[in-house]
Structure 1
């Protein structure tokens, strides 16, 4: 069987759009202490902001089905960066908690419109190296979550919360760039079918069902570290900059994780890479919580590398399995992923309110160990 070509420039283009898009969704965590103080929010209310942004993910399978049947991937990827940037850039001037929830809900719709078709384009551009392609694509997202928080803190320091909305200009320019460059490339990959969600689920259920358990277990670790790390560090040190730096370290190692995990899984196998990541991650979180100094920083780095590295491997699994309706299949996977994270954020936030942040991290790590039995159910 002839090998399929890996189109580096095309994968890089979509990965760049992922970087710009996700930079705006990363603004919540670093600015959360300021939002909590400004609107007098509890941790549960703060966690609900992220949950509201995840609710539109329930539409992911339907978005994927439309993208498969109508070939709308190009327009969804072009428009999403700007549609996401507008509400996320306005959070600094939002006067009430209710209006803030509305902004995050509209941002969530745009997030769903982007994340369903984009990995499908990457999978088609990646040929036989889908793991490598997903690693590069997810590296764009992780770089955004590394640089985005630092950019947000710097922008607030320079512009202030009242003028923070000017940062949306970068997304508008990106959408213009995608319009003039992505169109020619994507025309070669349009998928026009008449599939159904049921047929898509049947095609990938032997992979998706175990992944549901893995995603749920991982979501608790992902939510506690990604959402409340800055709050934890800021309360320990009294410095918002230290909180942003800690999140930056966590996300930077996440970049290394996603960049290497997919490529390694092309060579070592998907299950093996997932096993090591899912075993090491909860141990690293536990050690991080109960240590200090250099060891604490080292565990933070290991946690970022392992917790965040699993997504490109799972995306590659789904796209390898889904032949007839790849966007709909990815929509099902993304719906489960976002729903699990939304559920976990509310739960860990409530645990943090009742039992404290240290206990919240500990419980999240213990839940993380439950991913291993589901991993063993994945077919080779």
Structure 2
């Protein structure tokens, strides 16, 4: 029987690996203005680069299915090293096709990592699943905070090809993960039980249908705040450094939001935290769009805190709803999240091309408010109701 205690050392190790991994993947958003200028890309083409990196997420439910049965811990261990190489090579990519290829490689590695690592972290969290997912998201948000700053600092102080100097950090991280997690597999595998695909999917359908609607309506606002924020600010006259720093401010606030959201949902209920986020985030985004200058930065802090606070809540809901098939359920969630987020990225990019990013962001905020309806339809576990 798995321990019900929170194993802070191992959970923190996985979160640290998440930090380094997502530091590399966070290079893409602040690189988009560079690629747009260097290769004369449209906003739609730039948005598709994000899709290339996230496309392998379509395989996450398959990875999750196998992760419930066999050891896939080396996906977790190797992830920072492989992603570090692929994302650093973007600095010398000669064209759009090469960029797309490197992003697909990084995306395949990232898909395997995100399908397996949070499940192991959740298993090691015992009865504090929300707290464990908060730690997991804290690691990711820290990486997404550091990433843009590392990217713009490297380009400014060295050069775009200077990204190659960042490869050893990922390799060292993978080595440390190997030392810390090589004995964790037995603990993770003790509770695994076989499951039939069709029966499991039928059982999961009432949960995932409203969750999919909720994710879609939220994704428009999230991709506006993350993927297109540097481009939006650059169009408004901000420098590459300021645009990247703004994204880091947003992600830094998201660290606090992720940790607080996961922890509070263990005590107040998952639904309460979801409702607060779905009200506060779109309203703050609308206010941000009519604000200029230094006043935007306090709003970015609030946007990051409330907008990014619910991912650990959703992940906790998914895992506690299907305790015997955690990795499979998490993989389905990640696959759905990718598909719907990709749809949102493309549509926001198209709206940005045909209208403006201001219009796209405004529509995105309104759509997230509509998502409130599906929070009340979403089934939750008895201990998850607010």
Q: TM > 0.5 between the two?
A: yes
Q: How far did residue 255 of structure 1 move? A: 0.7
Please name the residue that 2:374 is paired with.
374
Q: Distance in 1 between matches of 2:273 and 2:248?
A: 24
Preserved contact between residue 69 and residue 189 of structure 2 (Cα < 8 Å): no
Matches within 5 A, 1:240-251: 240-251=240-251
Distance 1:105 1:135, change over 3 A: same
Please name the residue that 2:150 is paired with.
151
Q: How far did residue 279 of structure 1 move? A: 1.0
Q: Distance in 1 between matches of 2:294 and 2:89?
A: 38
Q: Distance in 1 between matches of 2:284 and 2:79?
A: 35
Q: How far did residue 297 of structure 1 move? A: 2.5
Q: Distance in 1 between matches of 2:244 and 2:261?
A: 25
Q: Distance in 2 between matches of 1:318 and 1:154?
A: 38
Q: Distance in 1 between matches of 2:23 and 2:266?
A: 28
Please name the residue that 2:216 is paired with.
216
Matches within 5 A, 1:119-134: 119-134=118-133
Please name the residue that 1:259 is paired with.
259
Q: How far did residue 111 of structure 1 move? A: 0.8
Q: Distance in 2 between matches of 1:23 and 1:259?
A: 18
Q: Distance in 1 between matches of 2:153 and 2:293?
A: 26
Per-residue Cα deviation, 1:168-220 (whole angstroms, up to 9, x for no partner): 11111111111111112233212554324334333433332221111101110
Please name the residue that 1:102 is paired with.
101
Please name the residue that 1:272 is paired with.
272
Q: Distance in 2 between matches of 1:349 and 1:281?
A: 20
Matches within 5 A, 1:225-374: 225-374=225-374
User: What secondary structure, in the 3-state scheme, does the structure 2 residue paired with 1:325 have?
Assistant: helix
Preserved contact between residue 23 and residue 147 of structure 2 (Cα < 8 Å): yes
Please name the residue that 1:111 is paired with.
110
Matches within 5 A, 1:1-150: 4-72=4-72, 74-150=73-149
Q: Distance in 2 between matches of 1:116 and 1:318?
A: 12
Q: How far did residue 294 of structure 1 move? A: 4.7
Q: Distance in 1 between matches of 2:199 and 2:100?
A: 35
* Structure 2: stretches of 5+ with no match in the other structure: 380-384
Q: Distance in 1 between matches of 2:195 and 2:320?
A: 17
Q: What TM-score do the two structures reach when normalised by structure 2?
A: 0.94
Q: How far did residue 79 of structure 1 move? A: 1.1
Q: Distance in 2 between matches of 1:89 and 1:196?
A: 41
User: What secondary structure, in the 3-state scheme, does the structure 2 residue paired with 1:156 have?
Assistant: helix
Per-residue Cα deviation, 1:303-323 (whole angstroms, up to 9, x for no partner): 111111110000000111112
User: What secondary structure, in the 3-state scheme, does the structure 1 residue paired with 2:221 have?
Assistant: helix
User: What secondary structure, in the 3-state scheme, does the structure 2 residue paired with 1:227 have?
Assistant: coil
Q: Distance in 2 between matches of 1:199 and 1:190?
A: 22
Q: Distance in 2 between matches of 1:343 and 1:189?
A: 34
Q: What TM-score do the two structures reach when normalised by structure 1?
A: 0.96
Q: How far did residue 4 of structure 1 move? A: 1.7
- Once the two structures are overlaid, the 10-residue window that deviates more, 323-332 or 203-212, is 203-212
* Structure 1: stretches of 5+ with no match in the other structure: none
Q: How far did residue 68 of structure 1 move? A: 1.1
Matched pairs, number = 378
Preserved contact between residue 282 and residue 368 of structure 1 (Cα < 8 Å): yes
Q: How far did residue 298 of structure 1 move? A: 2.6
User: What secondary structure, in the 3-state scheme, does the structure 2 residue paired with 1:184 have?
Assistant: coil
Q: Distance in 1 between matches of 2:218 and 2:282?
A: 9
